[in-house]
């Protein structure tokens, strides 16, 4: 068991280190001199060399690459990713300030998505109307297919600009959260709903349902007592995995709805090649992924006795 945990933790640490190292190589070594990116591109050829040198020196870009790598790694281990070259602000502060906004958006959307997915699955498997069933079963695929960008713009056109029910931007109270949440929840709900529809179907065919039915349980009882519980576990798992979808979707949602957040910060950091900030963001996202996966890995054996046996015997891969 200890071996299993150590292995999983080791993997998470490796992911974070690899993210740091790969971004370092990509950002500090490969493209242009990072100093060039600090100036207006139109004036870049007219910057006196001594000025470039001074700026290099300020940011430590003129040190040997290996030295830069280890000093940055050492600082990163202490939570210091340097200062954003576009704002002068510390990278850690910049990210820390926007994380709560994205968390509210991401968890709100995930919660909404799970509700949508359950509604779709319940309707799809419980209705006897063939046409309605077909329509509802097609919804998850459609939800996955519509890009957040498009649904966001459509929602804005309709509910903000035309009907005026919700503000188009801003973060004043719950009303400004509604449209972004819906836009982001739609594509996330898709895969969860697909899985639920399938597992509801499978569970309904299984033996214990037949048994319940034989005992005289009606449809609603079968659903709420048996199927619901058994089919939900895999759906909750996939909800965790859709974290990636949420992050990717939040980049677009935050841009379309002009909100502050990690996604928007990432987008602008990349578009201005704010080297320290991009690196901080990549490591932040990698660590978050690693931690979520680690949590899932560690919680799974607790939930599923079969996995517990595997973990105990191999002490590693599961």
Partner 1 sequence: MSDLRSSIEQSDSAQRRRWPWIAGALALVAIVVIGVVVARGGSGDTAAGGDGTPVRGGTLNFSLIDYQRSPDPQWGTNYAESLIAGNVTDKLLWQDPKTGDVTPWLAESWTYNPALTEFTFKLHKGVTFSDGLPFDAQAVKLNFDQYIKGDPALGITPNGAPLFPGYVGTDVIDDHTVRLRFERPLASALQAVSFTANAGPGFLSPNTLRLSAEQRSADATKVVGTGPFVYESWKPQVETVLARRKGYDWAPPALKHKGEAYLDRIVFRSIPEASVRTGSLTSGAIDATLDVGTTDEKALIAQGYKIIYRPVSGTAIYFNFNSQLFPTNDIAVRKAIQLGWNRDSLTKTVLTPSYSVASSVLQPSVPGYADYRGSVVRFDRDKAAQILDAAGWKPGPDGIRVKGGKRLEVKLLGINNLVVNTPAYESIQQDLKKIGVDLKLTVVPIPDYTAQQAKAKTDWNVVAANRSRNDPAVLNLQYSPELGNGAYIGPESPGIDQAEVTKVLGQIETTLDPAQRAQYTKAAQDLLLEKYALVNPVYNPSQVIAHAGYIHGIVFDAQSRNSFVAAWKGAADDNRADG
Query: Within a 10 A sphere around the Cβ of 189, how many other Cβ atoms?
Result: 29
Interface mask toward partner 1 for 18-37; x: CB under 8 A: -------------xxx--xx
* Rounded Cα gap, residues 296 and 293, in angstroms: 5
Handedness of CA 30, 36, 38, 39 (dihedral sign): negative
Q: How far is the CB of 70 from partner 1 (least distance, A)?
A: 22
Contact 194, 121 (CB under 8 A): no
CB of 61 or CB of 118, closer to partner 1? 61
CB of 255 or CB of 293, closer to partner 1? 255
Q: Which of 42, 60, 54, 51 is nearest to 276 (CA)?
A: 60
* Rounded Cα gap, residues 259 and 95, in angstroms: 14
Site for partner 1 in 168-207 (CB under 8 A): 168-171, 187
The residues facing 302 across adjacent strands are: none
Q: How far is the CB of 240 from partner 1 (least distance, A)?
A: 19
Q: How far is the CB of 191 from partner 1 (least distance, A)?
A: 9
Q: How far is the CB of 160 from partner 1 (least distance, A)?
A: 7
Among 13, 18, 89, 111, binds partner 1 (CB under 8 A): 89
CB of 45 or CB of 205, closer to partner 1? 45
Q: How far is the CB of 200 from partner 1 (least distance, A)?
A: 20
167 near partner 1, judged by CB under 8 A: yes
The distance in angstroms from the start CA to the end CA of the chain is 11
Contact 114, 120 (CB under 8 A): no
CB of 33 or CB of 304, closer to partner 1? 33
Among 153, 287, 307, 310, binds partner 1 (CB under 8 A): 153
Q: How far is the CB of 268 from partner 1 (least distance, A)?
A: 7
57 near partner 1, judged by CB under 8 A: yes
Q: Which of 280, 287, 295 is nearest to 90 (CA)?
A: 280
Length of the chain: 318
User: Which residues, other chains included, contact 172 with Cβ-Cβ below 8 Å and sequence gap of 6+?
Assistant: none
Structure tokens at 280: 């901080």
Site for partner 1 in 107-146 (CB under 8 A): 138, 141-142, 144-146
Applying CB under 8 A, the span of 114-122, 123-131, 159-167, 197-205 interacting with partner 1 comes to 159-167
Count CA atoms within 13 Å of residue 204 on its CB side. Answer: 17
Q: How far is the CB of 278 from partner 1 (least distance, A)?
A: 10
43 near partner 1, judged by CB under 8 A: yes
CB of 98 or CB of 110, closer to partner 1? 98
User: Which residues, other chains included, contact 116 with Cβ-Cβ below 8 Å and sequence gap of 6+?
Assistant: 185, 186, 189, 193
96 near partner 1, judged by CB under 8 A: no
Alpha helix ranges (H) inside 206-304: 207-214, 219-221, 228-241, 243-256, 262-271, 275-303
Interface mask toward partner 1 for 255-284; x: CB under 8 A: xxxxxxx--xxxxx-xxxx-----------
CB of 43 or CB of 220, closer to partner 1? 43
Q: How far is the CB of 107 from partner 1 (least distance, A)?
A: 20
Contact 140, 189 (CB under 8 A): yes
CB of 167 or CB of 301, closer to partner 1? 167
CB of 44 or CB of 209, closer to partner 1? 44
* Rounded Cα gap, residues 12 and 289, in angstroms: 9
Helix, strand or coil, per DSSP, at residue 83: strand
């Amino acid at each position: 068991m200890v071996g299993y945990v150590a292995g999983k933790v080791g993997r998470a640490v490796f992911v974070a280190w690899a993210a740091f190292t790969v971004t370092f190589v990509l950002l500090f070594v490969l493209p242009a001199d990072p100093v060039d990116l600090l100036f207006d591109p139109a004036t870049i050829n007219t910057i006196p060399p001594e000025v470039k040198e001074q700026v290099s020196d300020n940011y430590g870009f003129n040190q040997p690459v290996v030295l830069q790598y280890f000093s940055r790694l050492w600082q990163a281990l202490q939570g210091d990713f340097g200062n954003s070259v576009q704002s002068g602000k510390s990278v850690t502060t910049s990210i820390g300030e926007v994380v709560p906004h994205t968390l509210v958006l991401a968890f709100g959307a995930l919660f909404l998505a799970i509700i949508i997915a359950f509604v779709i699955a319940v309707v799809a498997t419980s209705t006897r109307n063939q046409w309605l069933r077909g329509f509802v079963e097609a919804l998850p695929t459609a939800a996955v297919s519509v890009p957040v960008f498009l649904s966001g713009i459509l929602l804005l056109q309709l509910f903000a600009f035309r009907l005026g029910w919700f503000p188009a931007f801003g973060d004043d109270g719950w009303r400004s959260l509604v449209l972004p949440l819906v836009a982001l929840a739609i594509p996330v709900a898709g895969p969860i709903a697909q899985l639920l529809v399938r597992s509801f179907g499978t569970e309904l065919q299984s033996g214990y349902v037949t048994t319940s039915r034989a005992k005289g349980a009606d449809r609603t009882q079968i659903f709420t007592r048996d199927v619901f519980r058994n089919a939900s576990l895999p759906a909750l798992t996939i909800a965790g995995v859709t974290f990636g979808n949420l992050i990717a979707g939040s980049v677009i949602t935050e841009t379309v709805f002009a909100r502050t957040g990690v996604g928007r910060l990432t987008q602008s950091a990349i578009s201005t090649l704010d080297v320290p900030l991009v690196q901080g963001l990549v490591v932040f996202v990698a660590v978050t992924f690693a931690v979520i996966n680690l949590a899932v890995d560690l919680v799974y054996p607790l939930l599923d006795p079969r996995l517990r046996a595997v973990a105990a015997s191999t002490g590693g891969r599961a």
